[in-house]
Amino acid sequence: MKQYLLFILLIALISAGYYTSSGNKESSQARQKNSDHKNEETRKNKKVPSLADQFVVPNFQVNSFKPSYNKESNELSIQMTYQVNEKLYKVLSHPDQQYYLSIELPNNISKITGIKNTDQIQGPMLADHRMSSTIVFKNKLPHTLTNKQATYIREKKLDYNLNVFDKDRDLVLRYMDIYLGTTVPQ
């Protein structure tokens, strides 16, 4: 009889252990599914980083800024080469990040060209840890410029401003006087 009771007790213990480990396995799987679901929600809800106050020294540095005039096409062309640091690179390389850039012309240049700003163009998407980029702004002018005016545009280091817009094309930052905070010789 003792053996019979011992046998029943052993079966009861084995059964209890099976259900407990099985329950833990199911509980662990449920926790894993819940965790996966939360991670997915976090990824979906992760906001695109703001561009406000990002295009400033030391995050952003203009290395080359060359305004010019092409008489044949009657276009104002501004070539700008810039570099970013790691902080701004992370903001700009976000997969959903879109930004637009425009140059606000100095009053003297605006009077000559007949335009106040270049057209907004989409900023390049930085990838592969490329920390610099060159962008060219081109605008047709309403009238032809004289050689003297073209030379003035090319040679004068005036207070051009860089306007940065978000994906909705709302102005988020104005980088005042590009020449002031650049490595471009003045």
Does the pLDDT of residue 153 top 80, yes or no? yes
Does the pLDDT of residue 31 top 70, yes or no? no
E-state strands within the chain = 60-70, 75-84, 100-104, 121-122, 132-140, 161-165, 171-175
Does the pLDDT of residue 63 top 70, yes or no? yes
pTM of the model: 0.70
* Mean pLDDT of all residues in 142-147: 96
Does the pLDDT of residue 4 top 90, yes or no? no
Mean pLDDT score of the chain: 81
Give CA separation, 27 vs 31, 34, 85, in Å.
6, 10, 46
